[in-house]
Amino acid sequence: MPKPTIAMSVKEDTMSFTPSRRALLSGAAAGMLGLAACQPSAPLGSGSGGEGVGEHPSLAYLPSTQPANWSAVIGAVNEKMKADIGTTLDAQFLNWSQYAQQVLLKFTAAETFDSALNARWMNMVQLVSSNSLADLTDEIGKHENLSKALAPELIEANKWSGRLWGIPQVNGAARIHHFGYRDDLAAGELTDFDSFLKYLSDVKQKNPDITPFELHNNVGLNQAITFSPLTWEDPQPVSQAFSGGSIGVAINPDDPTDIRPVYESEHIIEGIRVLRDLYEKGLVNKDALTLDSATANSQFAAGRFAAHGVITDGLGSQSLKTLQAAVPGASLANLLPYRDGLAAKPFQTFQSDNFAVINPAGDVDRALQIQDWLSIQENHDMLAYGIEGTDWTASGEDKYEALSDYVFPGFALLWRIDLERMPSTISASEEEIFAWSKKFENFTLDPLATFYPDVTPVKKEDAELTNVATEHLKPLCSGAVDVDAGLDALRRAAEAAGIEKVMEEMRTQISAHLAEQG
Amino acid sequence: MSSSPTAPATTAAPPTARARRRPAARWSLGLILLAVPGILYFLVMNYAPMAGLVVAFKEFDVSQGIFGSPWNGLRNFEYFIATGSAPRILWNTVFLNTLFLASTLVVGIVLAIMLNEIRLSIYKRTMQSAIFFPYFVSPVVISVILQVLLAGVGGQSGAVNDMLSVFSLPQVSWYSEPGPWPVILTIVKVWQLGGYQSVIFLAAITSISEETYEAAAIDGATRAQMAWHITVPMLRPTIAILVILGVGRIFYGDFGTIYAIVGDNGLLFPTTDVIDTYVFRALRTLGDFGTTAAVGLFQSVVGLLFVLGALQLQRRFAKDTSVL
């Protein structure tokens, strides 16, 4: 038998090497294992025992787009951070429209990064139930500056069943949705809900090129609640849901176990009717379901809308500089049309809308060291407002004047109530509302203030209800469908998706929580 | 008298040992070395990842990994199958894919025949490039183009509605009306893929013998008759291959295009929500890889059954053009 040859010839006399199929497959499998062995192994675990702090930048995922002048600012921040604590920050910005799902996938796929923004209205409930977040309950106290910057009440209000799963990102006590509007388009002072609706009609008549009110694809219950006249007459407790985007329940403040689907709440139904009316009259944009929030905000800043929804974070006037560049003489104002004004004392849970959460597959210690470093005023200001003298300059004790277009999403990483400065462009009305929102005593404690439902027992039903909300509730809240027909379709779909089971589970968990509270 | 040709002596000779080994010669080292990169590619990229399909039968937990997570039987399949939307989603997936497949094939054939009739080379190449270009346009760009055409700024006008106004026709709120969307999406797919398909058919047309056309011309056939009676029948094997490939993916929704255009606009779900968009929304809500793996497995198995079914039909009713 001829000797095996490795000649690359097809001549018959060289066709003598006849390995078996099994040998061939074994060889291929060995090759595959070899290739696998060449793959760099991803570091898992906290990393604190392996790589020392500072060997790699701390990767953080943040929403929105990269700020202007970012490379100069992060360069300065990292230079000081490296000198102070021996590490650096690598902030990656993800577009808002895909942020929630991208971050969810990064966590559930055990990608190695240190921190990200998350929230109950995104997927924090799912992340907690899948053990995808680092438990920070016993960690905050180990970091002096961080624990000093976070009030004990704030920590307590944001614990879920006694555990803290993220650093609450707040710059005030309460979060109240209300209206922000172009003051230069108003004939006079807006004082109540009716005058605001009249303002929208007047804008449409006098400025046909401007859409009176802006809605975007995050439209949902907040819009229905904000546009409900009943809300301003009689503020109700915040509704409860197992996860953000799902269909929740309305709570009876006198008996929190008395719950019903949100689509049966009179407050919400009235709000939906108002939105439908505005839609039919052309007072809101008709592309809300396809318009992403970043585009909507840029269109507002370009003067294409007269009003939009804002929240009590003191940032409603942040777009004024851009707006005035597009529309010289433009001015902004805020309206919180409670019947009793700032004495209304609406319900509040004092739970943070947003959390800086830490990935257990990343370097937990390093992420907390950075949080601690950012809790020092000088460091905080450098990342929050940019390089002093170039991007901003102090204006009084608690304000800053922006000198460049640098805007950092501080609510995603470094908001500390006592360290925040207000923009010097803040309108008088917004400053008044913001100051009011900072005081706990201006609000009534929600009966379910420390309650966080666990979605695990109804995970599939809740996911199905999220689909139902996308298909039926969002169009209703954008005003795009007939209210009665839309509510009927929503009710049928929610029942088919298991709303009864979800409500029963919610009732059980609320009862257990109330019993625990005594 | 003519003598019949004699057979070569070698054919009459008894088979030698070398000749007996000939079938085994397929295992040439050279050929094996040539095949190794391809084999490795398919093993690493296609077969090894199949081990991950076990996720479809597990309660996946990141901290425990794929193989450490507990088994949960068929519970992951229940989420999709038990949902009230399943019949609608399955119908949309099959219906839209059938529309896409049929329309792109028909338009591809027509474009190829038309291109084949162009005699001026530079004009033919320019047209070919022009109709091929949309294949490279991103679905996101297509989405923006559609918004300009159908909605305009603020969703209250758009070029199409402006045109309807010119003819005193009522305006349509396109992004609120699910009815027209199968047609709109089909137009988009035809625009995107018509040129691409035509190139495949054009390549097949060039292999048709000129003599066949010359014979038809002698018989007095017109160009249209030649196209219908010669070109189209000769394209049947190519059509058969493309149909088989398309049928194999008929349970895969065209996620890229549909999600980029429709996004989370629930008003359009009744006619546009397909398996892939539904599963994507579920994944981003649940963060549950088990459920999505289950649906992916379901799509693959049904796709395989469809391919086998299509092959059987071909073998039975179109044996001469059957590809496998």
- Chain B residues with CB under 8 Å of A475 CB are 176, 266-267
Residue B77 · residue B302 · CB < 8 Å: no
Q: Does the beta-carbon distance from B155 to A15 stay under 8 Å?
A: no
DSSP string of A83-138, one letter each residue: HHHS--EEEEEE-HHHHHHHHHHHHHTT---SEEEE-TTTTHHHHHHTT-S---TT
Q: How far, rounded to the nearest angstrom, does the alpha carbon of residue A224 sit from its chain's CA centroid?
A: 19
Q: Does the beta-carbon distance from B284 to A105 stay under 8 Å?
A: yes
What is the arrangement of strands in the sheet containing A211-214, beginning at the earlier edge strand? Answer: A211-214, A305-311, A177-182, A332-335
The distance of B294 to chain A (nearest Cα, Å) reads: 14
The mean predicted confidence, pLDDT, of chain B is 84
Give the confidence band of B322 by pLDDT, cuts at 50, 70, 90.
low
Q: Which residues pair with A307 in a beta bridge?
A: A181, A213
Question: Taking each helix axis from N to C terminus, what angle separates A459-468 and B275-286, rounded to the nearest 10 degrees?
Answer: 120
The domains of chain A, with CATH numbers, are 58-173+352-419 (3.40.190.10), 177-345+445-517 (3.40.190.10)
Structure confidence at residue B253 (pLDDT)? 79
- Chain B residues with CB under 8 Å of A288 CB are 155
Structure confidence at residue A47 (pLDDT)? 34
Average pLDDT over residues B172-189: 93
| Rounded (5°) CA angle A507-A132-A363 | 145
- Single out the residue of B215, B222, B216, B208 nearest to residue B116, CA to CA: B208
| Rounded (5°) CA angle A501-A503-A506 | 110
Dihedral, A418, A424, A426, A427 alpha carbons, nearest 10: 130
- A vs B, Cβ pairs < 8 A, gives 162
CB contact set of B219 (below 8 Å; sequence gap of 6+): none
Structure confidence at residue B154 (pLDDT)? 66
Rounded distance between C-alpha atoms, residue B26 and residue B32, angstroms: 9
The HSE-up count of residue B171 (CA atoms within 13 Å, CB side) is: 18
Q: Does the beta-carbon distance from A290 to B175 stay under 8 Å?
A: yes
Rounded distance between C-alpha atoms, residue A251 and residue A444, angstroms: 15
The distance of B63 to chain A (nearest Cα, Å) reads: 7
B145 against B315, higher pLDDT: B145
Structure confidence at residue B324 (pLDDT)? 58
Structure confidence at residue B316 (pLDDT)? 77
Give counts: helices (H), strands (E), chain B.
18, 0
Structure confidence at residue B41 (pLDDT)? 95
Nearest CB partner across the interface for B264, out of A104, A287, A470: A470
Nearest CB partner across the interface for B282, out of A18, A123, A463: A463
- Chain A residues with CB under 8 Å of B63 CB are 131
Nearest CB partner across the interface for A467, out of B25, B85, B153: B85
Nearest CB partner across the interface for A470, out of B24, B147, B281: B281
C-alpha distances (whole Å) from A147 to each of A138, A224, A375, A421 are 11, 37, 9, 20
The distance of A232 to chain B (nearest Cα, Å) reads: 28
The distance of B263 to chain A (nearest Cα, Å) reads: 7
Residue B214 has pLDDT above 50, yes or no: yes
Structural tokens at position A69: 């002048």
Structure confidence at residue A55 (pLDDT)? 64
Residue A361 · residue A110 · CB < 8 Å: yes
A408 against B66, higher pLDDT: A408
The domains of chain B, with CATH numbers, are 90-321 (1.10.3720.10)
CB contact set of A136 (below 8 Å; sequence gap of 6+): A164, A165, A166, A167, A358, A368
Q: Does the beta-carbon distance from A109 to B265 stay under 8 Å?
A: no
| Rounded (5°) CA angle A415-A418-A421 | 70
Answer positive or negative: Cα dihedral of A503, A506, A511, A512: positive
Lowest-confidence pick of A26-40, A366-380, B208-222, B284-298: A26-40
Q: Does the beta-carbon distance from A32 to B151 stay under 8 Å?
A: no
Phi then psi for residue A409, to 5 deg, are -75, 75
Predicted confidence (pLDDT) per residue in B46-55, tens digit: 899 888 889 9
Rounded distance between C-alpha atoms, residue A336 and residue A340, angstroms: 10
3-state secondary structure of A348: strand
- Single out the residue of A446, A450, A451, A456 nearest to residue A505, CA to CA: A456
Nearest CB partner across the interface for B30, out of A10, A32, A217: A10
- Find the residue in A nearest to B26 (Cα): A15
- Chain B residues with CB under 8 Å of A217 CB are 263-265
Average pLDDT over residues B36-50: 92
Rounded distance between C-alpha atoms, residue A167 and residue A165, angstroms: 7
pTM: 0.77
Structure confidence at residue A28 (pLDDT)? 43
The distance of A73 to chain B (nearest Cα, Å) reads: 32
- Find the residue in A nearest to B172 (Cα): A286
The distance of A444 to chain B (nearest Cα, Å) reads: 32
- Chain A residues with CB under 8 Å of B153 CB are 299, 304
Rounded distance between C-alpha atoms, residue B238 and residue B216, angstroms: 22
Rounded distance between C-alpha atoms, residue A43 and residue A40, angstroms: 9
Q: Does the beta-carbon distance from B62 to A463 stay under 8 Å?
A: no
Residue B153 has pLDDT above 80, yes or no: no
Rounded distance between C-alpha atoms, residue B169 and residue B164, angstroms: 5
Q: Which residues pair with A356 in a beta bridge?
A: A117, A167
Rounded distance between C-alpha atoms, residue B271 and residue A223, angstroms: 27
The distance of A481 to chain B (nearest Cα, Å) reads: 8
Per residue of chain A (518 residues), give pLDDT as tens. 333 333 333 333 333 344 444 444 444 444 444 443 333 333 333 333 333 444 689 999 999 889 999 999 999 999 999 999 999 999 999 988 778 878 888 887 778 899 999 998 888 877 887 788 999 999 999 999 999 999 888 898 898 878 999 999 998 888 899 999 999 999 988 999 999 999 999 999 999 999 999 999 888 888 999 999 998 998 876 788 887 788 989 998 889 999 999 999 999 999 999 999 999 999 999 889 988 888 899 999 999 999 999 999 888 888 898 999 999 999 999 999 899 999 999 998 888 889 999 999 899 999 999 999 999 999 999 999 999 999 999 998 889 998 998 999 999 999 998 899 999 989 999 999 999 998 888 999 888 888 888 888 898 888 889 889 999 999 999 999 999 999 999 999 999 999 999 999 999 999 999 998 77
- Find the residue in A nearest to B19 (Cα): A12
Residue B284 has pLDDT above 80, yes or no: no
Rounded distance between C-alpha atoms, residue B280 and residue B322, angstroms: 36
